[in-house]
Amino acid sequence: MTTTTHEAKLEVPGATLHYEVTGSGPVLLLIGGAPADGTIFAGMVPQLADSFTVVTYDHRGYSRSSLNGEPEQQTVAVHADDAHRLLAELTTEPAHVVGLSGGALVGIALANAHPGQVRSLYTYEPAAIDVLDDREAQLATFADVVETYRAQGPFPAAGQFIVAVGDTPPPMPEGEPSPEMLAMMGQMAKNFSLFFEHQLLPFISETPDVEALRATGVPVVWAVGEASQGQPCHRAGVALAARYGAEVVQLPGDHQAATTHPVEFAAAVRAAVTDA
């Protein structure tokens, strides 16, 4: 069975968001972490579109979403307002929200600011580096990534960033890159530049207000990867769950589980939001 995807644009203050809607049923908003765009959920969307109206989008300034002016500091609050406006455009009913990494920070801020819009919240390894016991060392590591970007450019910084979050950089492709690969690398370079210069440090310095989140009454799942133990975002997810007063859910994979294990990830989301 083929499911049609509808693509559209939404004007928000300072930007134009590109979003995609697939399937039918209760709205399920998937919020990725930067510098990725909405295509990070390509493997999950088909697993969920039979039961949900699945919404994905590119964050402001990334890929198909544009900024109206020069880039400015990207804050969690601004991104949460974007998500609020996107949901308001699509539905008058509360929506299920899934957030990965920095997207989990956006989901938490959205639920705190607009709890009536959020039926349930599924967080995966929030990038809340500021809550870690070794926060100063971790923040310094990511600040070094920004300095690498300024001195050497986006791709050396991207490799350093991947190592900092605990992953392994992918091997460089062999041979001459195709025109399609060159175009993709050009877009990646633009995304990396916005991320390193304007978003990385403001986001990871954010301390989510889990006490306020608990007070909203929005059901929350705190999930982490089985293969990412010891990595900063895994540890942040465990720390936030403890502050909230909940146990974490372990999913197959590491920080990139939504792309490496989309079937299992989607099944876990489906089970959680069905019970919400």
Query: Which residues, in sequence order, are CB contacts of 28 under 8 Å at separation 6+?
Result: 48, 52, 53, 54, 55, 95, 96, 97, 98, 269, 273
**Strands 249-251, 220-225: pairing kind:** parallel
Residues 104 and 87 in one domain: yes
Which tens digits make up the pLDDT trace of 219-276? 999 999 999 999 999 999 999 999 999 999 999 999 999 999 999 999 999 999 977 6
Question: What is the structure's pLDDT at 3?
Answer: 78
Residue 262 corresponds to which tokens in the numbers above?
């989309």
The residue type found at 12 is V
Residues 47 and 120 in one domain: yes
Residues 92 and 159 in one domain: no
Which tens digits make up the pLDDT trace of 129-187? 999 999 999 999 999 999 999 999 998 999 999 999 986 555 555 555 555 554 555 66
User: Containing domain of residue 166, as a range?
Assistant: 135-201
Residues 120 and 218 in one domain: yes
Question: What is the structure's pLDDT at 163?
Answer: 93
Residues 71 and 34 in one domain: yes
Residues 264 and 186 in one domain: no
DSSP, collapsed to helix, strand or coil, labels residue 28 as strand
**Strands 5-12, 15-22: pairing kind:** antiparallel
Choose the final residue of a domain: 171, 201, 231: 201
Domain count, the chain: 2
Choose the final residue of a domain: 181, 201, 221: 201
Residues 167 and 89 in one domain: no
For residue 87, the domain's CATH number is: 3.40.50.1820
Distance CA 109, CA 149 (A): 28
Which H or E element spans position 99?
A: strand 95-100
Distance CA 190, CA 178 (A): 19
Residues 170 and 254 in one domain: no
Burial class of residue 16 in the structure, from the number of CB atoms within 10 Å of its CB (0-12 exposed, 13-18 middle, 19+ buried) = middle
Q: Assess contact for 59 and 34: CB atoms under 8 A.
A: yes
Question: What is the structure's pLDDT at 166?
Answer: 83
Q: Assess contact for 223 and 123: CB atoms under 8 A.
A: yes
Residues 14 and 57 in one domain: yes
User: Does the predicted TM-score (pTM) go above 0.75?
Assistant: yes
Distance CA 263, CA 45 (A): 10
In order of 2, 41, 109, 137, 247, the CA distances from 239 in angstroms are 41, 26, 17, 17, 10
Residues 69 and 146 in one domain: no
